[in-house]
Amino acid sequence: MKIFKSKHKLQKEILNIKNISFVPTMGGLHKGHISLIKKSKTFKGKNLVSIFVNPKQFNRKKDFTTYPRNLKKDLALLKRLKVDFIYLPTHKDIFSFRPRNKIFIDKFSKKLCGKSRKGHFEGVLNVVNRFLEIINPKYIFLGVKDFQQLYLINKHILKRKINTKIVPCKIIREKNGVVCSTRNNNLNKNQFNTASNVYSYLRNIKKLIKRELYNIDIINIKKNLIKLGVKNVDYIEFFNLNTLKKPKNKKEKFKIFVAYYLNNVRLIDNI
Ligand code: PAF
């Protein structure tokens, strides 16, 4: 495992490697990241994991400062997983150059998380665009947990004709159903249980929506989430993944997208 803190040294090392499988992260690695990394190792070539807590994608300063970080633990894990290259850039390394491609922001960025997290997706696309230019990977591994992020990165890659293919990776959950997330580190035991109850409740709601598509009372669902201990529901919506619209008939496949707060911790899921 080789660790790089400067893009020039990294680029020198990987210049002649054609098949780079890239897993971008903000650290605080969990089972979801492990599954991305393991998947990347099934591809030919070398794999590269970056750890960079990107300030530009946090719309609240406090969220950035309290974002869980544990570099020592992360590096020990990456070593165990036998990752080929680790990139730990500084802010300057990433943001001090003018990228070739302008970011492309699809209109889907205005929905879901885009409504309440102003500038979030611009921040994500900004950093991912730069990483892609520095690393020029053949594949980038992204979790379906962040469905909207994955969708928007894909639109950017296609629009800018970037030579990298996205490998979408399935959602990984804890035993109690809570989706793995770095932010779970900021939950206490009670809140973690509440998150589990939210998951079970929403799974039942999904069954109900399948049966009674036209009679779904979102206001009532929000009230029930608050009863479960949620402080505030940012959004709860359901979409057909292909049309990104509400399903119109019972045969359409759809997912529930939710973002909510447990105290000050914002969690997202899609079920
Ligand atoms: O999903 C994340 O952890 C981040 O949004 C990413 C893709 C690493 C960009 O900072």
The CATH number of residue 117's host domain is: 3.40.50.620
Residue 90 lies in a domain: yes
What DSSP element (H or E) covers 210? helix 189-211
Q: Which residues pair with 268 in a beta bridge?
A: 259
Shared-domain flag, residues 125 and 51: yes
Report which of 122, 100, 98, 101 is spatially closest to residue 110, judged by C-alpha positions.
Answer: 122
Specify the pLDDT at position 208: 86
Residue that is last in its domain, among 143, 169, 195: 169
Give the closest residue (by CA) to ligand 1 atom 9.
Answer: 124
Amino acid sitting at position 132: L
The catalytic residue positions are 33
- The two three-digit tokens of residue 142, written as one number: 């992204």
Ligand 1 center from residue 127 Cα (angstroms): 8
Shared-domain flag, residues 52 and 121: yes
Shared-domain flag, residues 122 and 244: no
Residue 174 lies in a domain: no
Shared-domain flag, residues 157 and 219: no
Residue that is last in its domain, among 128, 143, 169: 169
Specify the pLDDT at position 214: 62
Amino acid sitting at position 38: K
Residue 6 is given by DSSP the state: S
Residue that is last in its domain, among 104, 137, 169: 169
- Choice from 53, 149, 156 to test ligand 1 binding pocket (greatest atom count within 8 A of CB): 149
Shared-domain flag, residues 37 and 108: yes
> What's the whole-model pTM score?
0.97
Residue 178 lies in a domain: no
Give the closest residue (by CA) to ligand 1 atom 5.
Answer: 124
Shared-domain flag, residues 161 and 203: no
Q: Residues lining ligand 1, CB < 6 A? A: 24-26, 54, 57, 124, 127-128, 146, 149
Each residue of 174-193: pLDDT tens digit? 999 999 999 999 999 999 99
* Number of domains composing the chain: 2
Shared-domain flag, residues 262 and 203: yes
Shared-domain flag, residues 195 and 165: no
Q: Which residues pair with 167 in a beta bridge?
A: 141
Residue 182 lies in a domain: no
Shared-domain flag, residues 193 and 157: no
* Domain carrying residue 197: 187-266
Mark the ranges of the chain whose per-residue pLDDT is less than 50. none
Residue with tokens 């939710």, as numbered in its chain: 258
Shared-domain flag, residues 56 and 147: yes
Report which of 173, 156, 192 is spatially closest to residue 269, judged by C-alpha positions.
Answer: 173
Residue 181 lies in a domain: no
Give the closest residue (by CA) to ligand 1 atom 8.
Answer: 25
Shared-domain flag, residues 26 and 101: yes
Shared-domain flag, residues 12 and 121: yes
Residue 237 lies in a domain: yes
